[in-house]
Copies of this chain bind each other. A is one copy, B any other.
Amino acid sequence: MRAGTLLYAQSGGVTAVINATAGAVIRAARTNNIPVLAARNGILGVLREELLDTSALSNAQVRALAHTPGGAFGTCRVKLKSLEQDRAKYERLIEVMRAHGVRWFLYNGGNDSADTALKLSQLAEVHDYPLTCIGVPKTVDNDLVVTDCCPGFGSAAKYTAVSVAEAALDVAAMAETSTKVFVYETMGRHAGWLSAAAGLAGKTADEAPHLILFPEIPFDEAGFLEQVRTTVARVGYCVVAVSEGLRRDDGKFVAESEGSVDAFGHSQLGGVGPLIAAMVKDRLGLKVHWTVPDYLQRSARHLASETDLAHAQAVGKAAVEYALRGMNGMMPVIRRLSDRPYRWKVVPAMLAEIANHEKKMPAEFIRADGYGITEACRRYLQPLIRGEAPVPYQRDGLPRHLRQALPQIEQCLPPWPG
């Protein structure tokens, strides 16, 4: 047994398969006889010295992580600033890790966490503390650079494509005397990957979704309404997928530029979906329905993609291997070898190349008219939603989830004041 402990923490928004990554990390560490601590609520748990002992999990429970959505140990939305601005926090992190013999730190998150892991790896060197920091990718937004795709995205993409396909059959059946336009709002504040995934639901121009509104394309209200009008005239109904991040010409979010307070002075928390729906109703006089799946799209483990699950587990396993090899400041990422048949492998990438960058949809993935995806985009997205990853169900009809509170390691440092 090597001397040292591995610390794993989750960061930012969860996905349907981030716990599958956690399970793969624990399994790989166990194979190497390395004890694994998990930080409660991400980096906050490290600052507070709230470290959970994963050895309390049986092997069966570790396997159950693979079909449990959410973040099993808690996560947080906390972004550390520069080493200068947040030096006390970085030093506390090192102090906590030193106190618990942590030699390997795995941070499972997006851009921000890659940045934190990178800074921590640098500071550890300065302090001559032997720590290997590895970033582990995760985000439903699919907006990390370097990696071909992000674990978590494929399942959210599959949820989106399947939900749009199913709801479109509903709308098609009722359109003559009921809803003519259905608006589906996807996540993706800065990049249109999830709205693009809706495009997988249909293959021909007359199949839903008929229109996609990407954050990458400034919203043209008149042009959009004309598209809706002609689609309804041609097909009988129109299904629209819209990204929450849709912006106007001036760069403002459409969801923000509309009235934010209702007649009674309440905040309007309506996303862009209901706003687009209201626009269609008011300007075209068509009956409209809308959906905002919100968290459902990133927690629907019951509808996860097999490809995505495999990615999530592969990066977890590779992260442990990189850590043990001392590949400080690296992240295992997905490299695509071919589209058809879909082949991929995990390769190391430098956190410095990934941190603080954002991958938007490339122009060649968006149809010339701006309202749909291209064949190149379809070729990219298609393998990511492929395959099913069924969950075990209980006799009561609900999925079986791991719900195990872990014991916290005894604290030995003064409490963190933050």
Contact = CB atoms under 8 A, between A and B. Distances in A.
Contact of A258 (B263, B298, B388): B263
A186 interface: no
B294 A290 contact: yes
A267 B176 CA distance: 23
**Central interface residue in A201, A260, A262, by most chain B CB within 10 Å:** A262
A234 interface: no
Contact of A166 (B168, B170, B399): B399
A156 B132 CA distance: 48
Contact of A77 (B74, B163, B177, B385): B177
A200 B398 contact: yes
A303 interface: yes
A30 to B, nearest CB: 23
Contacts of A89: none
B294 A158 contact: no
A171 B295 contact: yes
Interface in A145-204: 158, 161-163, 165-174, 176-179, 182, 200-201
A82 B274 CA distance: 37
- How many copies the complex holds: the figure is 2
Interface stretch (A278-286, A314-322, A328-336): A278-286
A173 B270 contact: no
**Central interface residue in A76, A162, A269, A385, by most chain B CB within 10 Å:** A269
Contact of A178 (B77, B167, B266, B382): B77
B10 A166 contact: no
Given A170-B14, A176-B76, A292 B295 contact: no
Interface string A30-54: 0000000000010010000000000
Contacts of A73: 173
Contact of A163 (B176, B300, B305): B300
Contacts of A13: 174
Given A70-B169, A166-B301, A397 B387 contact: yes
Contacts of A14: 169-170, 173-174
A408 interface: no
Contact of A293 (B275, B293, B399): B293
Contacts of A158: 397
A407 interface: no
Contact of A177 (B76, B174, B258, B390): B76
B388 A165 contact: no
A2 interface: no
A401 B169 contact: yes
Nearest to A382: B396
A282 B268 CA distance: 10
Nearest to A157: B397
B173 A75 contact: yes
18 contacts: A13-B174, A75-B173, A76-B174, A77-B178, A161-B398, A162-B302, A163-B300, A166-B302, A170-B298, A258-B262, A268-B268, A269-B277, A269-B290, A270-B270, A291-B293, A291-B296, A386-B396, A387-B397
Given A162-B302, A303-B303, A388-B393, 5 more contacts: A69-B170, A170-B299, A258-B262, A258-B266, A290-B294
